Amino acid sequence: MLKVNDINVFYGAIHAVKQVSLEVTEGEIVTLIGANGAGKSTTLQTISGLLRSRTGSISFMDANIGAMAPHKIVERGLAQVPEGRRVFLRMTVRENLEMGAYTQKSNGISADLERAFTLFPRLKERHKQIAGTLSGGEQQMLAMGRALMSHPKLLMLDEPSMGLAPILVEQIFSTIVEMNRDGTTILLVEQNAQMALSVASRAYVLETGNIVMQGDAHELAGNEEVKKAYLGG
Amino acid sequence: MSFLSHLISGISLGSIYAIIALGYTMVYGIAKMLNFAHGDVIMVGAYACFFMVSRYEIPAVVGVLSAVVICTLLGIIIERLAYKPLRSATSLAVLITAIGISYFLQNAAQLLWTSNPKVFNSLMGDGSVKLFDGRLSISVTAIVTIVVCVIIMLALTWFTGRTKMGKAMRACSEDKGAAQLMGINVNFTISMTFAIGSALAAIAGVLLCSAYPILTPTTGSMPGIKAFTAAVFGGIGSIPGALLGGVLLGIIEIFGKAYISTQLSDAIVFVVLIVVLLVKPTGLLGKQVQEKV
Ligand SMILES: Nc1ncnc2c1ncn2[C@@H]1O[C@H](COP(=O)(O)OP(=O)(O)OP(=O)(O)O)[C@@H](O)[C@H]1O
Ligand SMILES: [Mg+2]
Choice among A14-28, A104-118, B63-77, B118-132 with the minimum mean pLDDT? B118-132
ipTM, 2 dp: 0.95
* pLDDT value at residue B291: 42
Give the pairing type, strands B214-215 and B118-119: antiparallel
Question: Which numbered atom of ligand 1 lies nearest the CA of A34?
Answer: 21
Closest ligand to residue A191's CA:
1
Confidence of residue A54 (pLDDT cuts 50, 70, 90): very high
What number is the average pLDDT over the span A105-132?
A: 94
Å between A202 CA and nearest CA of chain B:
25
pLDDT greater than 90 at residue B128: no
Residue nearest to atom 4 of ligand 1 (CA): A11
Q: Is A78:A123 a contact under the CB 8 Å cutoff?
A: no
pTM of the model: 0.92
* pLDDT value at residue A220: 93
* Mean confidence (pLDDT) of chain A: 95
Residues β-bridged to residue B130: B137
pLDDT greater than 60 at residue A89: yes
Closest ligand to residue A38's CA:
1
Neighbours of B62 (CB within 10 A): 12
Cα nearest neighbour of B183 on chain A: A71
Question: Within an 8 Å CB–CB cutoff, is residue B164 touching chain A?
Answer: yes
Q: Is B186:A72 a contact under the CB 8 Å cutoff?
A: no
Residue of higher predicted confidence among A121 and B264: A121
Q: Is A218:A227 a contact under the CB 8 Å cutoff?
A: no
- Among A112, A118, A182, smallest CA distance to A149 is for A112
Q: What share of chain B is helix, strand, coil (3-state, %, to 5)?
A: 75, 5, 25
Torsions phi, psi for B216 (to 5 deg)? -135, 170
Q: B162-179 pLDDT, tens per residue?
A: 999 999 999 999 999 999
CA angle centred on B154, ends B153 and B160, rounded to 5°: 85
- The CB-side HSE value for A7 (13 A sphere, CA atoms) comes to 29
What number is the average pLDDT over the span B245-253?
A: 95
Q: Does ligand 1 have an atom closer than 6 angstroms to the CB of A40?
A: yes
Confidence of residue B129 (pLDDT cuts 50, 70, 90): confident
Question: Within an 8 Å CB–CB cutoff, is residue B30 touching chain A?
Answer: no
Domains of chain B with bracketed CATH: 2-279 (1.10.3470)
Torsions phi, psi for A22 (to 5 deg)? -155, 165
Closest partner residue to A74 (CB to CB) among B177, B181, B287 is: B181
| Dihedral sign from CA coordinates of B282, B288, B289, B290 | positive
Query: Which runs of E-coded beta strand occur in A25-162?
Result: 29-33, 57-60, 63-64, 78-81, 154-158
pLDDT greater than 60 at residue B293: no
CB–CB contacts below 8 A, A to B: 65
